[in-house]
Structure 1
Amino acid sequence: MIQLLSHQEIDVAQWEACLASCPQPLVYAHAWYLNMVTKNSWQALVEIKDGKYVSVLPVAIKKWIGQKQVYQPLFTQQLGLFTTEESSHTTVVEYLEALAQHFQQLQYQLPASESFSLPNQASWQMRPRPNYELPLAAPYEVLYKGYSQNLKRSLKKAAQAGLVPVLVSSPEAVIRLFTQTKGKELPSLQSRHYAILQKLTAETQKHGVGEVWEIRKSGELVTGAIILRDAHRITFLFGASSAQGRKLGAMGFLLNYLIEQASNQHIIFDFEGSEVPGVANFYAGFGAEPVSYLSLSFQRSNTSPSWTRTVFTSLAKRLP
Structure 2
Amino acid sequence: MYDLRYIENENVDKPKWDALVSSSDHSLIFNNYDYLNAFCVWDALVLEDYAGAIPLPRMEKTGYLKLYQPPFIQKCNWIGTALTPELIAQIWNIIKSKFAHVHFNSNIIFGNISSPRINLILPISTLDKNQKKYSKSLRKNIIKVTSLNLITDQSQVKITAELYKNAYGDLNRQLNNEAYASLILLVNKKPEMFLNCIVLNHDKTVAALLFAKYNNRLHYILGAPNEQGRKLNALSFGINHVISMHQNQNYILDFEGSMIPSVKDYYKSFGSFDEPFYETNWCTPWLKLLLKTYKRLKRS
Q: Under a length normalisation based on structure 1, what TM-score does the superposition of the two structures give?
A: 0.83
* Amino acid in the other structure paired with 2:179: H
What is the aligned counterpart of 1:74 among 35, 59, 71? 71
Alignment map for 1:1-320 (pairs within 5 Å)? 1-38=3-40, 41-48=41-48, 52-84=49-81, 91-111=87-107, 116-118=109-111, 125-136=113-124, 138-158=125-145, 160=146, 162-168=147-153, 169-205=155-191, 208-301=192-285, 303=288
Alpha carbons 1:155, 1:253 under 8 Å: kept: yes
Q: Does the residue aligned with 1:134 lie in a helix, a strand or coil?
A: strand
* Residues 1:191 and 1:250: Cα distance change in structure 2 (over 3 Å): same
Unaligned regions of 5+ residues in structure 2, if any? 292-300
How far is the alpha carbon of 1:66 from its aligned partner? Answer: 2.9
Give the CA deviation at 1:266: 2.2
Change (3 A) 1:157 1:81: same
Deviation of the 1:258 alpha carbon = 0.8
Contact (CA 8 Å) 1:297, 1:305: kept in 2 or not?
no
Amino acid of the residue matched to residue 126 of structure 2? P
**1:155 corresponds to which letter in structure 2?**
I
Deviations 1:206-241 (A, max 9, x none): xx2212110122443211011111233111111111
Amino acid corresponding to residue 83 of structure 1 in structure 2 = G
Q: Counterparts of 1:305 and 1:98 in 2: how far apart (Å)?
A: 23
Structure 2: how far apart are the matches of 1:142 and 1:90? Answer: 43
Conserved 8 A contact 2:195-2:210 = yes
Q: 1:32 to 1:21 in 2, by over 3 A?
A: same
State the shift of 1:90 in Å: 8.2
- Whole-angstrom CA distance in 2 between matches of 1:117 and 1:42: 20
Question: 1:275 Cα deviation (Å)?
Answer: 1.1
Aligned residue identity for 1:95: I
Relative distance call for 1:212 and 1:242 in structure 2 (3 A) is same
Judge conservation of contact 1:71–1:107 (CA < 8 Å) in 2: yes
How far did 1:89 drift?
9.1
* Displacement of 1:264: 2.1
Structure 1 residue 110: Cα displacement: 1.2
- Seen in structure 2, the aligned counterparts of structure 1 residues 107 and 243 have a Cα distance that, compared at 3 Å, is same
Residue type matched to 2:119 in 1?
N
What SS is found at the alignment partner of 2:285?
coil
5+ residue gaps, structure 1: 119-123, 307-320
182-191 or 258-267, larger mean C-alpha shift: 182-191
How far off its partner does 1:278 sit? 1.2
